[in-house]
Structure 1
């Protein structure tokens, strides 16, 4: 499918995606992309965040592709029981380990546990070997459980603007290939 045949829901994580973040840049480049806005970016509440994804999906007029980063990943997955019939695919980047009590901030755990069943649509999980919010092996296991294509981003930190992934052209190329296979 082509991007203009889809509604692309950008689902940022904790504190949102700043102006340099790849999600913000993609949102401005992809005509059918729109951000799922949260009332409290720095005080995430699972039920509220999930509700916002469901509301955004209900407003979609085309099939949906989810583009989630960090805390946006469990948010998107917890919304699936309500929106799966509209979702054509998911592009999941830097999923945090919501089961690890040693990872800060602590509120990450309130978004767990992850659903572990196979996703009913194509998906990609991209993870870094140096992400402070998730051990690489945990991300790989999640991708396996979800039936997702797993891509190794190397030593890329949390794959955000802080780790130097502002435009992230490699990610956009992978995303374009992913859309082409839907």
Structure 2
């Protein structure tokens, strides 16, 4: 299907969570629908379904369903899912907003999958090659799931633009988000880059 000349489709990729009404991704989807903007959402699978391959295929299914250039909006483990998806399906999409990627290669707090479970389910090693599309990593200085310097490193390796949001926790309801209005501005930034013909983002601090 010809996707050129249309408003980009936002594809929302959640992390290891079930449906959360107050999550900023849930609210972003509702906001975009209210504006009649094209949006698709990968269904949340929660922590019970850890198979990374299933999540990769869910992203691909959503991207295939879009009838305009895609901008992915991922949070937490969804960012790692997108990196794996980009390796499996190296598409030149319109861009990706990657918010609060976790450090899956360092033991996480109690209640999250351990390294053995992540490895057994295909998450490890985390892909580190440059992403084949423009991307923005939204980073937190006090994320309990990733030290800031680790996020800086992975953004550099992905060739993503890094945006430092300061002390915003894990950018989830437990951290006060809720609404995250900055997401809309970052999506618009990626859309402008796509319209200008940019396909990759150069790393800069």
TM-score (norm 2): 0.80
1:77–1:115 contact (8 Å) kept in structure 2 = yes
Which structure has the bigger radius of gyration?
2
Aligned-residue CA RMSD in angstroms? Answer: 1.8
1:22–1:167 contact (8 Å) kept in structure 2 = yes
> 2:55 is paired with a residue of what secondary structure?
helix
Deviation at 1:115, TM superposition (A): 1.2
- Give the count of matched residue pairs: 178
Q: Deviations over 1:65-101 (max 9, x none)?
A: 1110001111111111343325221100000101012
2:42–2:62 contact (8 Å) kept in structure 1 = yes
Which one is further off, 72-81 or 139-148? 72-81
Deviation at 1:162, TM superposition (A): 1.6
**Equivalence for 2:199:** none
TM-score (norm 1): 0.89
Higher share of residues assigned helix: 1
Which one is further off, 154-163 or 45-54? 45-54
List aligned pairs for 1:2-13, cutoff 5 A: 5-13=7-15
1:97–1:134 contact (8 Å) kept in structure 2 = yes
Provide closer, same or farther for how the CA distance between residues 124 and 68 of structure 1 changes in structure 2, counting only shifts above 3 A.
same
> 1:10 is paired with a residue of what secondary structure?
strand
Which one is further off, 27-36 or 123-132? 27-36
Deviation at 1:17, TM superposition (A): 4.9
**Equivalence for 1:114:** 126
